[in-house]
Structure 1
Amino acid sequence: MAHALQESLKLLLKEAFEGPSEEWSWFTNAEENAGIFGILEGLPAEKASLSRNGSTIAAHADHVRYHMWGTNEFLRTGTFPDMDWQQSWQINAVNEAEWDDIKQALVKEFNTLLAGIDQVQWDEAHANEMLGSLAHAAYHLGALKQMIKA
Structure 2
Amino acid sequence: MSETLKNSVKTMIKETFEGPPVPLKGSWFVNSEPNSGIFGAIERMSCDEASTSIHGTTLAAHTDHVRYHLWGTNEILKEGKQPQMNWGMSWEIHSVDEKQWNTIQEGLRKEYLTLLEAIDAIKWNELLANEVLSSLAHSAYHLGAIRQMLKVVKV
Asked whether the two chains share a fold, i.e. TM above 0.5, the reply is: yes
Matched, 1:58 2:69: no
SS of residue paired to 1:82: coil
Which residue type is aligned with residue 5 of structure 1?
Answer: L
Deviations 1:6-55 (A, max 9, x none): 11111110000000003310110001220000000121000000000110
1:131 and 2:133 are equivalent in the alignment: yes
Partner of 1:4: 4
TM-score normalised according to structure 1 size: 0.97
* More moved, 115-124 vs 65-74: 115-124
Residue 151 (structure 2) aligns with: 149
Helix, strand or coil at the partner of 1:130: helix
Provide, for residues 69-104 of structure 1, a one-character-per-residue CA deviation record: whole Å limited to 9, x for no partner.
000000101011011000000001000000000000
Determine the C-alpha separation between the residues in 2 that align with 1:74 and 1:117.
12
Structure 1, unpaired ranges of 5+: none
2:20 matched residue in structure 1: 20
Deviation at 1:5, TM superposition (A): 2.1
Map 1:1-150 → 2, pairs under 5 A: 1-21=1-21, 22-150=24-152
The CA distance in 2 between the partners of 1:96 and 1:146, in whole Å, is 22
**In 2, Cα distance between equivalents of 1:119 and 1:61:** 26
**How many residues are treated as equivalent by the alignment?**
150
1:45 touches 1:95 (CA, 8 Å); kept in 2? yes
Per-residue deviation, 1:122: 1.0
Structure 2 Cα separation of the partners of residues 105 and 16 of structure 1: 16
Local SS of the residue matching 2:35: coil
Cα distance in 2 between the residues matched to 1:31 and 1:141: 15
Distance 2:42 2:65 in 1: 14
Secondary structure in 1 aligned to 2:121?
Answer: coil
Q: Which runs of 4+ in 1 moved over 3 A?
A: none
Q: Distance in 1 between matches of 2:77 and 2:118?
A: 7
